[in-house]
Structure 1
């Protein structure tokens, strides 16, 4: 073992491994909780800050955008500067920005804090799996990632419920403030207990790659977010898309020229399994997280449930996710990874298609088939994804591989929420204005339609005459439900493509020997 990878003075291998897994799981719990906990509080945020649909999208996308943009940076810096150092820095940044978000007095400040929070989350997302991959080998690595995936599933399961409890019982601010004491405690333990590790001969930091990738991704997501408002063919939107694609092309050229010194090692994309898991991850997250965002909006804005009540009604999906993730974790050492990934996204696709069972007059129970099947798919997907992503490289490259894999995950979330959200907004507006009730409103139909897309049927009594309220409400509910079904079908199609990619490209032969079940475990006792 190289000097760079020796356990820290005073730490034993076994205890360091335990603390590493525990802290990575705690960090993952906070991060995954933040993915879903915010959704149920969006309508309280809308009322507090008088925010529109686009502003609410930014509450999610300002986090996922910076998270996606800095994932490569986090993983690359960790391999070069030290995984413990970078991980604890990210933890401190995430904790401080959570405090700022909880204290925000306007939506701009909140979204700026969420952006900084995403930077800290990027570091934790990319370095956490690399820390586990460095400390664990073979069958033990499979078990560790099984627990890691189960904790991610638990956070997703509890997210809507915790968000509803904090929002209704205290304030939406506590969905952010709750991170502060947990983050401080984890930071103290991490500084004391984690081992340091890094590449043996690190290359200089790839600043050009960091800037071109982050800026290019930001412009692309900005284009999706603002296209519905500004017009898809308007000069600013076309400029954002063109600029984003140009910067990403420059990034690709820079990374190819840097070779082994690149923050994004293009040679990894020659490995079928790595390419397969990245593309499958992109499509899975682009569809599943966008679906959750829109379905929670339906339960709150059309069915009229409070955040706490919404969280309770999403528990069937989330409990299914958690249980399946826990069972899947125990099979990682022996299961075919391509079958796991392909089947998981296949379940997600079917679950999204089942949302068509919901009709304008349906209650929330019409969503149960979709919730259960989607929960099975998400639970199957989470444990193997991280393990496969770093499993194709030697351990000292784990940070880069993890950062690349997490980048595809979070790019999927950011682009998916933005793109499918824009499609949903367009469909609601078009269906409502084309309805008889919308036509009767005349010039006001478009503004009311935008209100329906952002806030459902709530508040219509303040926007339309009393004598037409019933008719407008029925048309609004029909437009919302029809648009939800149409968008979920598109989500199902893209998820199905991800399933095919998983089945075809991912295989066990591409895994590095340290990821296989017969690999030796580091720091294991030497037989007498």
Structure 2
């Protein structure tokens, strides 16, 4: 039994940082009312966490190699806990958004070290069991997030959503220091600060431009100027990475059709989760549901995703990734199309079937996405592949929330109309991603292990 304590320490941290991507979904209206926050500010409360997490992932792998995976993991937990305390005590949206950004830094430190920490302890059959439990925990975090957020918000207030993290962080830090392998630091590893800054400016400018466009229109100075800044920052990022011997991301890989296709599919797969932000807002503020009822209304997606991940991970092992990925993205789109058509007098039950279908799609794409990504990378770049997948997934969620905010606010009218526009767009993304996956995603060269061997790529810490 003692040999599974390291897995428990890693799974607890993973559960925490993933939970904070979904637990706020039904609490947003209460945050808006309490802090007098407009919709653009609430968008940033949601998007700044995955945005900073995505940007920070590019450097946290290098820091883990330099200082040791356990040290970075525990530091990330500590930062995450302190930021959660600041979120719970926030007196205005500026403080809350800043604290959420710091949470993202801590979350990145946890996310990038998980595979290295598991790989340092488990081998052979134990590795398979460990990764199975780890996958179930990631699905569980998504499944319980909306319901847990609803219960806490309704009975204890939205601040309890953040305060809940504090005892869990304390337990995880204590357990991690006791049972996790310390690893071997390598002071020779260098952090690519210029590349990180350029990537952060590019992603942040795009997200902020979309947010301002939703509030002020596409002719506003911010909506016109910030995309140009993002393009300039992207050009700088490409130039910096091309000149590095150990880049954060080998941008030359984008010349491969299979690589570009699978990264696009990673981004497309996050659209359904981004749409949940606006589904929740419509349920709470449009249809007048309380936090618990809104959380219950979203459960068909979460439960269908969790069950499909558990069953599909075993039943679909060895199936061509492009087939499973294409089917999953198509179901994402079909589910969102079934949800569209909501009216101001509709009931939450009218969304149930569509949410469940979307959940099945999400459950299919999750387990197979890693296989598709690793097939698109050279075998010796598996560490970079893991980091790129997580980075693009978080970045995609950030940009979709910002982009859907433009559609949600466009033209005014009832919230249900805005949600329908978001759902139609999400359905289109799912269908387009499905077609792209079917024709362009590469097949793996051969059977791969559940956990590919990590190298010292700076987007994923090596096992110790």
DSSP 3-state at the match of 1:509: coil
Aligned to 2:458: none
Query: Where does 1:69-218 land on structure 2 (aligned, <5 Å)?
Result: 69-132=55-118, 141=127, 143-197=129-183, 203-218=189-204
How far apart in 2 are the matches of 1:357 and 1:207? 47
Q: Deviations over 1:217-271 (max 9, x none)?
A: 1111111111222331222322211111111111011111113x11123355567
- The total of aligned residue pairs comes to 453
Taking only aligned residues, the RMSD between alpha carbons, in angstroms, comes to: 2.8
DSSP 3-state at the match of 1:258: coil
1:210–1:265 distance in 2 versus 1, CA, 3 Å:
same
Aligned to 2:231: 245
Name structure 2 gaps, 5 residues minimum.
453-462
DSSP 3-state at the match of 2:14: helix
Of stretches 143-152 and 31-40 in structure 1, the one that deviates more from structure 2 is 143-152
Larger radius of gyration: 1
Q: Find the partner of 2:338 among 354, 372, 377.
A: 354
Q: Find the partner of 1:56 among 31, 42, 65.
A: 42
**2:363 paired with 1:363:** no
1:496–1:24 distance in 2 versus 1, CA, 3 Å:
farther
Query: Where does 1:372-451 land on structure 2 (aligned, <5 Å)?
Result: 372-386=356-370, 389=373, 399-427=383-411, 429=412, 432=413
1:214–1:284 distance in 2 versus 1, CA, 3 Å:
same
Deviation at 1:154, TM superposition (A): 1.3
Give me the TM-score of the superposition, normalised by structure 2.
0.89
1:21–1:272 distance in 2 versus 1, CA, 3 Å:
farther
Query: Where does 1:196-275 land on structure 2 (aligned, <5 Å)?
Result: 196-197=182-183, 203-259=189-245, 261-266=246-251, 269=254, 274-275=259-260
Give me the TM-score of the superposition, normalised by structure 1.
0.79
Aligned to 1:290: 274
Q: Find the partner of 2:265 among 261, 271, 280.
A: 280
Deviation at 1:415, TM superposition (A): 0.4
- Partners of 1:391 and 1:515 within 8 A in 2: no
Aligned to 2:318: 334
Deviation at 1:207, TM superposition (A): 1.3
DSSP 3-state at the match of 1:330: helix
- Partners of 1:145 and 1:383 within 8 A in 2: no
**2:292 paired with 1:308:** yes
Deviation at 1:149, TM superposition (A): 2.6
Deviation at 1:317, TM superposition (A): 2.0
